Structure 1
Amino acid sequence: MSDAQRMILDPAIRNWVLIPIMIVMVLVGILRHHITMLITGTPKAPQLKAIRESKALLRGLRLRTVGNSIPQHAFSVRKAYLADAFEKGKYLKNPNAAKEATKPVNPMMDPDMMDSMMEGMKKQLMNMVPQMVIMGWINFFFQGFIVIKLPFPLTPRFKQMLQSGVDTRDMDVTWVSSLSWYFLNLFGLGSVFSLILGGENAAGVDMTAMSAMPGMMPGAMPGQGQPGQPQDFNKLFLAEKENVMITPHIWDLEDVEERLLKKYGKSVQTKKIEEPKQKKELTIKNKIRAAQQKRR
């Protein structure tokens, strides 16, 4: 490394910038987890019809993927049954939906959809507010700080990600700014939260909620589909019916005995039953003698 790239960081940066940012993010994550648990409450148990509606598509998928493990007649029976059920809407939560005119589903008319939308909005709020507060705190007190140097080399493409807020063209890419240190902790503290709070915790970053907040996550794509959007299961069933109908069937156990014997170097010898020629010739001679005796 050249002398121009050799920098010595003040130990006060480690004590008053690097470690405090990480400690604050851990504490805020734990606090966010407990607040999220309080405002969301116990999730409602899904209805039986809704579970059957979603699991019916898995039946068609499993028949298409592992249908070769059953004989042809069993595959044909299941294929015909699922095609008829998908076409008539037997598995729909609302069986009359297949007969009614296709209209865009209004999520505001479904209580379950409204509850899920409210839960999603609460989670997005609990993700957005702490991140805005921490980013404002870092930009106000620690803007432009270089806090750490990574011990491994990186390509120049990582420069924009690791040196956010520091516009220095000639600085080595392994140096990390305070704002980039925040993002590294944001996406890297998931294992710490799992160790402290358990696997199912609300302290870690929610990637779905982050994608809905433009400007908060670097590289976030605007216009991405949001979770909890209503699905038209009638159209999904009709599409799955077409997929099931065009699926061919080749039984995996066809000629399995011969294939197994060939695998271990054995061959099947078929014995042909042949009539002895001598007996056949004697029969012809007897017929000739009988004909000669009749002439005499």
Structure 2
Amino acid sequence: MALTLNTPSLYIDDQIRDWVLFPITLVMILVGLLRHYVVQLLGGKGKKQEVKGIREQRALMRSAMLRKNGGVLTPTAFFKRKQFLIEAFKQGSYLKQAPPKDGEQQHPPNPLNDPEQMDSMMDGMKKQMVMFIPQTVIMGWINSFFSGFILIKLPFPLTRGFKSMLQRGIMTDDMPASYVSSISWYFLNLFGLNSVLRLILGEGNHADGVRDMQTAAQLAGTSSQPNPMQNQDMNKVFKAEIDNLELCEPKFMMSGVGNRVLEKYNG
């Protein structure tokens, strides 16, 4: 590379394109493919959900569908189903664990004492390690061998506000913002190669760099905060669903349908 005295322009050697630009891009694509298949191997076949847990979710879904679509039933059929679900929720027929007795406080289970919770936590940690370790290695590789390299010039001018994003590792104030350094090219590929990986692997793949950055931010911000949806008290959820059912009074489509038909065709 050479910097002219008259114009603030750089002449980039073709060998930088062949031995730095293309290898970084190719390595990131291959690492994304490898990471996708490693995560699939670690995930295995997945664990089957317990029948009692499925029954809880299906009971809530059934109640929500009745509240939403109860108007298509007759009033008698709707109120029979409504009363049946209310009684079942009060008795705890669909609960995975028996409801607490009067005056007894039920504490949420400790996830550290639950083998299933521990296995799921370990699986999550394994997948996160597969996500973060390759990115750390690639970044260290670029910083060690290609630190300070200018790889490409964008074909359009940019304002100085883009210098911090496109010229990381280059402490030069006079350089136009359209030049891209090696470490900035890494970050651009981290976000820009997702479309290429989706084209190769399909939707829902495990090689999404944006998801990695979001997961890292969530872990940094919420690592000490418990998940409010974890260890949810289904007994309280069913009590809230009882209130929703009792307040539900849909407009029945079949109510007075005979009179409406007669008015339509006799008028």
Which residue of structure 1 lines up, in the alignment, with residue 113 of structure 2? 109
Aligned counterpart for 2:30 among listed residues 16, 22, 27: 27
Which residue of structure 1 lines up, in the alignment, with residue 45 of structure 2? 42
TM score, norm. by length of structure 1:
0.68
Which residue of structure 2 lines up, in the alignment, with residue 223 of structure 1? 222
1:147 counterpart SS class: strand
Return the alpha-carbon distance in structure 1 between the equivalents of residues 16 and 254 of structure 2: 69
Q: 1:223 deviation in Å?
A: 1.7
Return the alpha-carbon distance in structure 2 between the equivalents of residues 167 and 113 of structure 1: 48
Distance change (3 Å), C-alpha of 1:174 and 1:109 = same
TM score, norm. by length of structure 2:
0.74
Distance change (3 Å), C-alpha of 1:187 and 1:257 = farther
2:48 counterpart SS class: coil
Distance change (3 Å), C-alpha of 1:206 and 1:123 = farther
Which residue of structure 1 lines up, in the alignment, with residue 3 of structure 2? none
Which residue of structure 1 lines up, in the alignment, with residue 16 of structure 2? 13
Distance change (3 Å), C-alpha of 1:222 and 1:170 = farther
Q: How many aligned positions are there? A: 258
Q: Which runs of 5+ in 1 are unaligned?
A: 270-296
Return the alpha-carbon distance in structure 1 between the equivalents of residues 207 and 176 of structure 2: 33
Matched, 1:92 2:127: no
Which residue of structure 2 lines up, in the alignment, with residue 142 of structure 1? 146
Aligned counterpart for 2:60 among listed residues 50, 57, 61: 57
Aligned counterpart for 1:75 among listed residues 61, 71, 78: 78
Q: 1:22 deviation in Å?
A: 1.4
What whole-Å deviation, never above 9, does each CA across 1:243-277 have from its counterpart, x for those lacking one? 33323312245566888899xxx7743xxxxxxxx
Report the aligned-residue RMSD: 3.9
Return the alpha-carbon distance in structure 1 between the equivalents of residues 244 and 148 of structure 2: 57
Return the alpha-carbon distance in structure 2 between the equivalents of residues 167 and 268 of structure 1: 86
Q: 1:58 deviation in Å?
A: 1.8
Return the alpha-carbon distance in structure 1 between the equivalents of residues 137 and 230 of structure 2: 29
Distance change (3 Å), C-alpha of 1:156 and 1:232 = farther
Distance change (3 Å), C-alpha of 1:46 and 1:242 = same
Q: 1:127 deviation in Å?
A: 0.8
Q: 1:194 deviation in Å?
A: 4.1
Distance change (3 Å), C-alpha of 1:93 and 1:15 = same
1:158–1:173 contact (8 Å) kept in structure 2: yes
Return the alpha-carbon distance in structure 1 between the equivalents of residues 159 and 236 of structure 2: 47
1:213 counterpart SS class: helix
1:105–1:232 contact (8 Å) kept in structure 2: no
Return the alpha-carbon distance in structure 2 between the equivalents of residues 166 and 252 of structure 1: 70
Q: 1:130 deviation in Å?
A: 0.9
Residue identity in the other structure for 1:222: G
Distance change (3 Å), C-alpha of 1:122 and 1:23 = same
Q: Which runs of 5+ in 2 are unaligned?
A: 1-5
Return the alpha-carbon distance in structure 2 between the equivalents of residues 24 and 199 of structure 1: 21
Identity %: 48
Return the alpha-carbon distance in structure 1 between the equivalents of residues 141 and 105 of structure 2: 54
What whole-Å deviation, never above 9, does each CA across 1:195-239 have from its counterpart, x for those lacking one? 4445554333472x644434xx9xx87127787833322222222
Residue identity in the other structure for 1:147: L
